[in-house]
Structure 1
Amino acid sequence: MQPPSRRTFLALGLLTLTACTADHTGPTSGTGGLRPDPDTPVRRRAIAATDALLAGYDTLPPPPSVRSADLRAEVARHRAALAEGLTASAVPSPPVTADPAAATPVPTPDGLGLAGLERRTGESRLADLDAASPALARLLASVAAADSVHAAVLGAPAAPPAPARPAASPSATPAPSATPAALTALQNALGAEHAAIYGYGVVGAHLPGDPQLADARTAHAAHQAQRDTWQRLVSALGAAPSPAAGGYRLPFPVASPADAAKLAAHLETRLTTVYADLVAAVPAPHRLTAALALRDCALRAHRWGAPDQPFPGIEDQAPTPSPTGP
């Protein structure tokens, strides 16, 4: 990867969409009552999975170097967010903190203890994406990404598990009609990937060697593949994919390996916002593709040393300037 010769503003995020807030009251039915919120079963399943995870934190020993109380507190925040909008009677009672010495340990997959439980919980959230409203799908994707980061903190192997179902292939899946908001979000994601590819050229040029240089090359290739995915999908939806700018101005000077790692963390963190918005905007068959991109960016941001976020891509959304000419 060669250093660039021109710079414009690093365009990660571009146009941030505001996710729609779900209407939890719903229109009235023909009998004069309120229609059930279709998100309620999804929220209840997500809360049940979260309760099982909380029980795991209360009964399973964490790795010695991990502050599991901080992770558990984030999981509790996930539960509260998933319960928003439900009536009190619809929300299961929260789990009671158990005495680890007296409680029966929670079964865990893959022999990974808490790390495996976090992974399995994240997979369950992805499995419900298509059944959720756009706003809830965005939340589920964000919380699933946080679950994956928790699993990495707890010592899970670097390779993520297979998704709950195969991601939609833009070339094989019939393209549904796209709303203007969906096309805008897809073009934003494509533009952000163009910028990330450019940025990783700078990152790679300032890293002295392995293992960070290998990580940069792997990330660069992953962003090229993701760019190609969005280009195919935008074309399948009848629009012209937005081209890359001639160059991108960096958000800060990069002159050392430390600066390069900081830039990589910045690129990935900004992309989580782009992909959280994309999950809410695209038709259901393509939500999983966007959610997996969100998860992968959150994991790479963690690997590059970015502060972990309880809700990747949703909190602390940053200004989103557009690229200019070279």
Structure 2
Amino acid sequence: MPAPTRRTFLALGALTGLQLLCGCTDDHPAKPAQSPAADPDRPLRLRQLAATDALLARYDAALAAPGADPGKLGDLRADVVQHREALARTLPSASPSPSASPPPSSPSASPSAATAADLAAAEQRTAALRLADLAAASPDLARTLASVAASGAAHAAALGDTTASAAPSPSPSPSASASAPAVPAADTAALQAALAAEHAAVYGYGVVGAFLPAGPQREDARATYAAHQARRDAWQRVLATGGASPTAAAPGYRLPFPVKDAATAVQLAAHLETQLTAAYADLAAAPTYRDQAAAALRDCTLRAAHWGADLPALPGLSAEQ
């Protein structure tokens, strides 16, 4: 028997590799493809979709009533449609999203079908349901729920609910003590980003207040400045007592545009709050700080609306999220 040549070894190697790639050996048949893992968020998403559909039905009833403002209610309804799409993103079998266009009004509809107060109360109840599922949600869904809840609070305020108005007063802030637990390493970056955003907000509101004349707006800016100081200090304590070194404030910050008068000062305030929503939406993914992050996201969303910001349907989230 002649000795095997180098070419023979190469041919055998190529054949073996081909068999492995194709999975076509006689002794080891190919395994069937595994089904994708079940979505652990599915029950939460389905419950949130049901609540969203109920809210959309209330908007449809309100829009069908005589005297309804189709512009305002239609815009709010369009936001709720986007909320539904975000909540159903990983549910291909979910029922299709309702039309983004509101139904035509009906002159024969009952005037008591729904009122602005009814809608505001429904928005508040639905926002509370979003927050009730926050702890059990995955990080991605938690961010969505916190954003949708903040949007719902802003809707309630737009519909005249004074309990949801953005009265710029210090909000409940995270507490810390000498025995506070260590900050989880996975959450440190998001917490530091929130602190850095608060540093920038404190600096920015110093500029805002300098350009506002004495009166209600200036008092609003002063109260909001104090609120951001309180939240900044609270995050610093959480980081310091949790074993992390808090991000220090910069010596100065570049403004996004020149501030020359009261009008541009108000624009800066709206910009600051809008920027903060992104930091708190990210922090809402952190299990340890979800409640505080969701509350801060709500506060910033309401303040942004208070200062006249054109808020997206999902505050703090990009179009891809």
**One fold, TM greater than 0.5?**
yes
**Which residue of 2 is the match for residue 232 of structure 1?**
237
**Which residue of 2 is the match for residue 288 of structure 1?**
291
**Which residue of 2 is the match for residue 120 of structure 1?**
125
Contact 1:59 1:105 in 2 (8 A): no
**Which residue of 2 is the match for residue 324 of structure 1?**
none
Of residues 297, 302, 306 in structure 1, which corresponds to 2:305?
302
Amino acid paired to 2:61: T
Contact 1:273 1:313 in 2 (8 A): yes
Amino acid paired to 2:53: D
Contact 1:66 1:154 in 2 (8 A): no
Q: Does 1:44 align with 2:46?
A: yes
Percent sequence identity over matched residues? 52
Amino acid paired to 2:197: A
Deviation for aligned residue 1:252: 1.6
Amino acid paired to 2:242: L
Gaps of 5+ in 1: 1-31, 318-326
**SS of the residue 1:307 aligns to:** coil
**Which residue of 1 is the match for residue 75 of structure 2?**
70
Amino acid paired to 2:257: F
List per-residue Cα deviations over 1:187-213 (Å, max 9, x = no partner).
111111111001101100100122111
**SS of the residue 1:130 aligns to:** coil
Cα distance change, pair 63–157 in 1 and its aligned pair in 2 (3 A): farther
Gaps of 5+ in 2: 1-33, 167-171
Deviation for aligned residue 1:171: 3.7
Structure 2 Cα separation of the partners of residues 54 and 176 of structure 1: 43
Larger RCO, structure (CA 8 Å, separation 6 or more): 1
Matches within 5 A, 1:140-289: 140-157=145-162, 159=164, 169-171=175-177, 174-175=180-181, 178-179=184-185, 181-280=186-285, 282=286, 284-289=287-292
Deviation for aligned residue 1:64: 4.5
Cα distance change, pair 264–44 in 1 and its aligned pair in 2 (3 A): same
Deviation for aligned residue 1:298: 1.1
**SS of the residue 2:162 aligns to:** coil
Instruction: Work out which of the two has the higher radius of gyration on C-alpha atoms and give 1 or 2.
Output: 2
Structure 2 length-normalised TM: 0.76
List per-residue Cα deviations over 1:70-109 (Å, max 9, x = no partner).
1111111111111111141xx256679698766897899x
Of residues 62, 87, 90 in structure 2, which corresponds to 1:85?
90
Higher-helix-fraction structure: 2
Contact 2:174 2:231 in 1 (8 A): no
Matches within 5 A, 1:87-102: 87-88=92-93, 91-92=94-95
RMSD: 3.1
Contact 1:53 1:118 in 2 (8 A): yes
Structure 2 Cα separation of the partners of residues 153 and 82 of structure 1: 23
Contact 2:174 2:234 in 1 (8 A): no
